[in-house]
Amino acid sequence: MGLKKSSFNDFRSALGFITILPAGSDLKFAPGEMIRFFPVVGLILGGMLAAFDFIVSSLFYKGVAALLDMVFLVVVTGAFHLDGVGDTADGIFSHRPREKALLIMKDSRCGIMGLVAVVCTLALKFAGIYSVKSYYPAGTAALLLLIIPAYSRAGMIFGIKFLNYGRTKGTGHGFFERELKFHDFIWFSIPVFLSCFTGFKFMIINTAFGLMVFSILCFYREKMKCITGDMLGAMTEIVEAMLFIIAGMTLF
């Protein structure tokens, strides 16, 4: 019983950390243990997105509904990961030494590179959601809206596993205090299983996810030799936007 209660607290920690959804007033912040629940939180976001899309699609044309879907994701996550997109772009593309780039990422002000990165990410996400809604039957589109947010948040687990934290302290420091094990990835099996019901897209989605996460982490290693909370958030947003784009490709 104690283990179950502890796990439920870890789940609520993840829910309260990466969304604005209520997680309870007695929440005990558990950064190292909440990690494995990131895909579950992604599924909750995806389920809410699919339900929201069902409602707005009955009221508006596909383009407006897709735009509202995108805004819904921004609101329900409190723009938490989008902030990481802006900070990461400002730091990495400042062409400054690593330590200076890390300082730039901590600056709350958004520079031109950060602004461009946020706008482009949102534009890609809108286009991807619109393509998914236009190309697929309603059931398949709803399934993709459900699982893609789970995939993108699962990507953070791989970032925490394979790169070192770039700061001596910070919001993300607690996530790196222990080495992740196989059981930390177990909940990722749910969106992977659900992707089997997308038909041939199962191969495309999972291959694209693997290649994107691998490429982004290699880029981070080459440019910064580390990862930060902002960089994890940026990866989440980029993977989500690109998975929507790839899922909506008419080529497959």
Mean predicted lDDT score pLDDT of the chain: 92
> Does any domain span residue 162?
yes
Q: How far apart are CA 45 and CA 51, in angstroms?
A: 10
Q: Is the pLDDT of residue 27 over 80?
A: no
Query: DSSP class of residue 250?
Result: T
Contacts with 184 (C-beta within 8 Å, 6 or more apart), sequence order? 35, 36, 157, 161
Contact indicator for 98, 224 with CB cutoff of 8 Å: yes
Q: How far apart are CA 159 and CA 231, in angstroms?
A: 9
Per the structure, the complete domain to which residue 67 belongs is given by: 42-81+127-247
Contact indicator for 132, 145 with CB cutoff of 8 Å: yes
Q: Is the pLDDT of residue 5 over 70?
A: no
Residue length, the chain? 252
Q: Left, alpha or beta for 79 (phi > 0: left; psi -120 to 50: alpha)?
A: left
> Does any domain span residue 120?
no
The tally of domains found in the chain comes to 1
Residue 31, SS3 per DSSP: helix
> Does any domain span residue 122?
no
Over residues 104-162, the pLDDT tens digits come to: 998 888 889 999 999 999 999 999 999 999 999 999 999 999 999 999 999 999 999 99
> Does any domain span residue 100?
no
> Does any domain span residue 22?
no
What is the pTM (predicted TM-score) of this model?
A: 0.93
Contact indicator for 114, 234 with CB cutoff of 8 Å: no
| Amino acid at the residue 31 | P
Query: DSSP class of residue 132?
Result: H
Tokens 């790839």 locate to 246
Radius of gyration of the chain (CA): 18
The average pLDDT across 35-47 equals 97
How is 190-210 classified by DSSP, letter by letter?
HHHHHHGGGTTHHHHHHHHHH
> Does any domain span residue 112?
no
> Does any domain span residue 101?
no
Q: At what angle do helices 229-247 and 138-162 cross, to 10 degrees?
A: 150
Over residues 162-217, the pLDDT tens digits come to: 999 998 777 778 899 888 999 999 999 999 999 999 988 899 999 999 999 999 99
Using 50, 70 and 90 to split pLDDT, how confident is the model at 28?
confident
> Does any domain span residue 227?
yes
